[in-house]
Structures are given as C-alpha cells and as structure tokens.
C-alpha cells in the first residue's frame, strides 16, 4: 500500500522508469559475470555492488537477496530463448530453418551477451519453488524444440532419429559453451552460432 504522502513516487516518470530498468539490467549482468567467475556461492552482494561502483544497500531497492537475483537471471534467460523460438516459428515454416535459427540464436545469447548462460547453471541454488518453476519452463522450451525435430521427421526432411536424444545433444553442446567460451576470443558469436547450426542440423538432414 502506498502512503498518501509518497504517492508521487508510486508512479515514477517514464525517464525514471527507464533508468531503473537499465540499472536492474546492469545488476543482473554484473551478477551473472560474478557468478560465472567466482561461482554463485562464493559471490556476495558486496562483490556485485563493487562491480557497479554502488553500495550493496542500493541493490536492495531492486532485489531482496542474492537468490532473487539468480532467479531473475534465470527468468530473463528463459524469456530470451522463448522469444527466439517464437521468432523461429513466425519467420520460417520448414523444420531445418526453424531448428537452425533456434540453435544459432541460442548460441548467440550464450556468447554475445552471456545472457543465455543461466540456462547452463545448476538450479540447486534456487529456492525449491523457484527451481521447480525454472525447470518446468526450461522443459517446455526444450520440448518445443524437440517438437520442431519431430515435425521435420514427420515431414521427411529429417532422418528418423530419437528426437529426445537429439535434443539432449543440442542443448548439451549449447549449454557447455558456458564452460569454455571466453568473450573476445577468435570465434565470433554469430560465426559460432552458424557453425553449431550447420553441424547440428546437418546431423538430421542427411540420408
């Protein structure tokens, strides 16, 4: 409930709202980098705040605790890949094009912004109810991609592989990127995405 005297703050101006959205995003990015470099358990709110040159108390305006930050990282990553999948279905009708787009774009968000990397994190650090939500939503995404493979098999453009195993291979290869990829290396995100897509859809279209 807003106190009458604070009502001016309840609906902030568009400029303030935009500033807060940006700051929230900066916090998530700084947290993600800290989690990747130090591990989630070793990272403190102070570490995250120090990366942004702010006091850790300022973080509480946005997130109640570290677990809430982790959960937000997971949610944003899921939004990102769900958006990619929707875009693939909207733009293309053939299964190889759809799958190729999903793979290359998913690789891009793993490497370019690192914003896909929470999908490669263990969910054991989330609260049980958050972990259950994240796992269910990730399963929905992975099953939808598996559905694209099944469509391709039904249409005769993909070999009759086990789509469950194929999805394990695809998401395993993509998630593992979080373990070895270093931004600024010789492999550019878009190129890496295209090569992953080429190899992994190639394994389905031949023979």
Counting contacts by CB under 8 A, is residue 173 touching its own copies? yes
Stretch that binds its own copies, among 66-74, 82-90, 93-101, 198-206 (CB under 8 A): 198-206
Residues 6+ apart with CB under 8 A from 178: 36, 110, 114, 117, 120, 121
Strands (E), 36-101: none
CA–CA gap between residue 187 and residue 178 (Å, rounded): 14
Rank residues 56 and 175 by Cβ distance to its own copies and give the closer one: 175
Chain centre distance of CA 154: 29
- Using CB under 8 A as the binding criterion, the count of chain residues that bind its own copies stands at 32
Q: Are 75 and 142 in contact (CB under 8 A)?
A: no
Going from the C-alpha of 172 to that of each of 79, 93, 149, 168, the distances in angstroms are 19, 25, 16, 6
Counting contacts by CB under 8 A, is residue 196 touching its own copies? yes
Counting contacts by CB under 8 A, is residue 190 touching its own copies? no
Counting contacts by CB under 8 A, is residue 56 touching its own copies? no
Dihedral in degrees, nearest 10, Cα atoms 34, 38, 39, 43:
-60
Footprint of its own copies on residues 146-165 (CB under 8 A)?
159, 161-162, 165
Rank residues 53 and 186 by Cβ distance to its own copies and give the closer one: 186
Which residue in the set 28, 70, 114, 166 belongs to the binding site for its own copies (CB under 8 A)?
166
Which residue in the set 61, 140, 176, 185 belongs to the binding site for its own copies (CB under 8 A)?
176
Of 196, 192, 171, the residue nearest 182 (C-alpha): 192
Rank residues 29 and 111 by Cβ distance to its own copies and give the closer one: 111
Stretch that binds its own copies, among 54-62, 81-89, 93-101, 190-198 (CB under 8 A): 190-198
Sign of CA dihedral 125, 112, 61, 56: positive
Which residue in the set 60, 154, 169, 188 belongs to the binding site for its own copies (CB under 8 A)?
169
Which residues would be at the binding site for its own copies (CB under 8 A)?
41, 122, 159, 161-162, 165-166, 168-177, 179-180, 187, 192, 195-196, 198-200, 202-207
């Amino acid at each position: 409930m807003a106190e009458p005297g604070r009502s001016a703050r309840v609906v902030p101006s568009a400029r303030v709202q935009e500033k807060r959205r940006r700051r929230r995003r900066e916090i998530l990015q700084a947290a993600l980098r800290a989690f990747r470099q130090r591990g989630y358990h070793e990272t403190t709110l102070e570490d995250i705040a120090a990366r942004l040159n702010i006091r850790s108390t300022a973080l509480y305006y946005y997130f109640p605790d570290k677990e809430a930050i982790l959960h937000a990282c997971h949610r944003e990553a899921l939004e990102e890949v769900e958006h990619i999948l929707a875009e693939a279905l909207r733009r293309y009708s053939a299964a190889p094009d759809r799958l190729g787009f999903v793979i290359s774009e998913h690789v891009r968000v793993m490497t370019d912004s690192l914003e896909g990397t929470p999908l490669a994190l263990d969910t054991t650090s989330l609260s049980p109810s958050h972990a259950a939500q994240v796992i269910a939503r990730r399963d929905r995404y992975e099953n939808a991609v598996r559905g694209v493979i099944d469509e391709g098999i039904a249409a005769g453009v993909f070999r009759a592989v086990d789509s469950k195993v194929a999805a394990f291979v695809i998401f395993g290869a993509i998630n593992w990127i979080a373990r070895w990829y270093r931004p600024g290396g010789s492999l550019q995100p878009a190129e890496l995405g295209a090569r992953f897509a080429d190899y992994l859809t190639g394994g389905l279209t031949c023979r």
